[in-house]
Amino acid sequence: MPELQRLRPDHAPALLAFERENRDYFAASIPDRGDAYFVEFDARHAALLAEQDTGACHFHLLVDGHGEVLGRVNLVDVADGGAELGYRIGRSAAGKGLATAAVRDVCALAATTYGLTSLRAVTTLDNIASRTVLERTGFVSTGETEAGGRPGIGYVRNLVR
């Protein structure tokens, strides 16, 4: 079973391979990261780790038993008890319920380990798979918005019971 791991320095090679392998797949539903992301990957990875150390973000990878990255689940812009959730699952792992399980796991971490009380998320209107994951994991629509320059829908999840 894949494991959700907090982003570490030694994840860099597997993460870069994941992003390269899935670049076209992701670009079909979300804005492309651009060439600079790949050229400057090592510096970007170091910057993410430094940002994570401040508590402003919490980055996670979904990793299989062989160390291959299957997906990413991140909490960014942590402030006032909330954060924005973002995730991406690679083509080879899509459609297997991994996104739903990983988002559930991150929601639990957000509440118990990171002390957050709510999460926000945004996806494009046409990304039915992402909308389904959010709805299955307890997110509620807040209405239409913009997502990467495209028509989108916002969601929120209260983590306090």
The 10s digit of each residue's pLDDT in 25-48 is 988 877 778 899 999 999 999 999
Answer whether 130's CB lies under 8 Å from 123's CB.
yes
Strand (E) or helix (H) holding 129: helix 128-136
Cα gap 53→94, rounded to integer Å: 30
Per-residue model confidence (pLDDT) at position 83: 98
* Alpha carbons 72 and 86: distance in angstroms, whole number: 8
In angstroms, rounded to a whole number, what is the distance separating the alpha carbons of residues 130 and 31? 14
pLDDT score of 60: 98
Given this model, what pLDDT does residue 32 score? 79
Count how many domains the chain has. Answer: 1
User: At CB < 8 A and 24+ separation, what contacts does 49-54 make?
Assistant: 49/7, 49/8, 49/9, 52/6, 52/7
Looking up residue 33, the CATH number of its domain turns out to be 3.40.630.30
CA geometry: angle 136, 77, 1, nearest 5 deg: 45
CA 113, 114, 116, 121 torsion: positive or negative? negative
Do residues 121 and 148 lie in contact, with contact meaning Cβ atoms separated by under 8 Å?
Answer: no
**Regions of the chain where pLDDT drops below 50:** none
Question: Strands, E, within the chain: which ranges?
Answer: 3-6, 58-63, 69-79, 82-89, 118-124, 140-147, 150-158
The pLDDT value recorded for residue 29 is: 77
Q: How far is CA 69 from the centre of its chain?
A: 13
- Amino acid 99: pLDDT: 96
Expressed as residue numbers, the domain containing 68 is 3-158
How far apart CA 134 and CA 75 sit, in angstroms, is: 14
